[in-house]
Amino acid sequence: SPDGEEMAFLHSSRDDGRYDLWVGSTSIDNAEQVTTTKNVSTVAWSPAGGWIAYVRGWSEVTLEGEIVLIRPNGEWHVPQLLA
């Protein structure tokens, strides 16, 4: 996060290259999974830290995916097509 208190990261529980978004504190061990799609890439925080943007369903073939906005607590916004 911009204030350095939280981090967003991709994690694959099966080490199969299929990732979900997790958010946790930078000072204690408390990471929580905030997506369950196993199809997440390219994570970025908003400047104020209220949103996390990520790409879901990126295709190397069509160069398309959805940009999804999600709150650090897991609340999400309607995805938009990225082309």
Q: List own/partner pairs for 75-78 with CB under 8 A and 24 or more apart.
A: 77/51
How would residue 76 be classed by pLDDT, with cut points 50, 70 and 90? confident
Closest CA to 31 of 46, 15, 11: 11
Report the distance separating Cα 49 and Cα 37, nearest Å: 22
pTM for the structure as a whole: 0.80
Give the tens place of pLDDT for each residue, 53-73: 999 999 989 999 998 889 998
- Which tokens go with 18? 């299929």
